[in-house]
Amino acid sequence: MKDSPARITLEEWDARYAQLRAAGLREPWYGGPLRRHVDEGGDYRLLRLRYDNSVAALRLWNFLLTEEDRLREARRQGRKLVGAMKDLGTVPVMAYALGNVTAFYPDGAWWIPCVMELSSKDLEIADSLGIDESFCPVRAMLGAFLTEAHFPIPDLLTCNVGATCDDFSAIAQRLNGLGFPILWWETPHRRKPKVGQASRLSGSLGEAGFKLIPTEESVPLPGGLSAPREQVDFVRSELERVRGAIEELAGGRLDDAALRDGIRVANRLRRVLAELRQLAYSAPVCPIPALEMLIAEMLALHFCSDREEAIRVLEELLEEARRRVGEGVGPLREDAVRVFWVNPVADLRAMNILEDCGGRVCGTEYLFSHALDPIPEDLPPMEALARTALADPMVGPCSDRADRICRDIQLFGAEAVLVSRIPGASHCAVEGAIIHEMVRERLGLPVQEIEVPPLCDAVAPTIRTRIEALIETVKGRRKP
Ligand code: SF4
């Protein structure tokens, strides 16, 4: 049953769902009306959002909102659970390479205060443990561990440290102190390979007319980055420790052949997502709204606890996007202002607000671009994974991240940039300002910053005013 693409409320979804069912809609086992996630799961924020009206979007939301059930089912079936923390996109690729392991990110608790509209008390529990609102919303993870209300306690917890933000380091250490053992593995702060000065006035010239030559091996990383060989080797050795721990947990060998297969499957998902992003962010009429695209991108992190199903969910969404692009239709106006979005939002409603104001998302950098880039398949798998981990935008200098953002802005043809700050987040205290400056200087585009708390209702008028100002600025710059 095909209707014109539109963004609809939960109430409108109730009616549409009934119609779809009457027309013979077939769904996977986790399907059903979205309303039940409010009534049974307490996901009250759903009452305030606007959704894409496609069957593909319905499946995407149901897949996202049933992850807890999947994790509990995995535990019941005797699968081993790995709680990967902070690396965003590397350890789950390893874990899923073994048939009896399911991996997920407890970091995802970040969104619980928003989705449950603060009814879950996770933030109060974090407060009581001395992790107050001077930390970013990831502190909700502490409450989630103590109540066990949102996910089962993993059999193995890993946490990436070293170049990690202060918030996460402190919270994970607190978790460790509360009696949850953690396998720490380190990624150093990524630096450029060293160069030295050699003979005068020949070849590429340095500032003083000297040729610059590398003094250590430079290794290319996904995303157009590079790092010295010694850093890649170090991360590889750290990941070897993670491999050993997963093998011990699963009682089986995680050999290179299995890892290669795991990388191939992860890349399959990343390719589907790449085409979806390309269509959603560059088609003349936006085929899929920002909120559904945010969720689609998040599936790349740990497959929402079911790797094969995550690919099927994205394939269906891609199919819908292709159809809409082919027909030149979409849920937003054709003249919507093309905005590049930097950082994930603590309140999902902010994505709706941009579109309510006449904008559309054309490119994103949600702190995990390394989970979207293909993992090299022509290298030994542990080397490929080490390079991927080192390409994390959060472990390198902010200028690398800003470079990537500038490139992607040009790729998707964005007309403006929105940097959403995360309250309390140590990673973005000044990073937003650096990105802001670099985008303005290099590309001459208008940039706006907003701060989005887990529930943004109280500041929604301010957010709206700022976004409207950005939209009006772009419209004023467009040629008549
Ligand atoms: S949002 Fe920023 S501060 Fe919070 S855990 Fe993620 S990287 Fe760290």
In sequence order, what DSSP letters do the residues of 182-232 get, joined into one string?
-EEEEEPPP-PPPEEEEEETSSSB-TTSEEEEESS-EEEEGGGEEEEHHHH
The verdict on the CB of residue 56 being under 6 Å from ligand 1 is no
Q: Which atom of ligand 1 is nearest to the CA of 428?
A: 2
pTM of the predicted protein model: 0.95
Give the Å distance between the CA of 285 and the centre of ligand 1. 33
Amino acid code (one letter) for 377: E
Instruction: Give the per-residue pLDDT at 1.
Output: 56
Instruction: Give the per-residue pLDDT at 196.
Output: 85
Q: Which of 141, 174, 427 to mutate to test the pocket of ligand 1 (most atoms within 8 A of CB)?
A: 427
Supply the angle between the helices 55-65 and 10-22 in degrees, to the nearest 10.
Answer: 110
Give the Å distance between the CA of 165 and the centre of ligand 1. 6
DSSP 24: T
Q: Which of 105, 131, 161, 168 to mutate to test the pocket of ligand 1 (most atoms within 8 A of CB)?
A: 168
Instruction: Give the per-residue pLDDT at 372.
Output: 97
| Segments of the chain scoring below 70 in pLDDT | 1-2, 199-209, 429, 480
DSSP 134: T
Residues 6 or more apart whose CB falls under 8 angstroms from that of 53 comprise 3, 5, 6, 7, 8, 12, 13, 16, 331
The verdict on the CB of residue 422 being under 6 Å from ligand 1 is yes
Give the Å distance between the CA of 451 and the centre of ligand 1. 14
Instruction: Give the per-residue pLDDT at 425.
Output: 85
Q: Give the H or E element holding residue 352.
A: helix 349-356
Q: Write out pLDDT tens, residues 392-402.
A: 999 999 999 99
Among protein residues, the one whose CA lies closest to atom 8 of ligand 1: 165
Instruction: Give the per-residue pLDDT at 440.
Output: 92
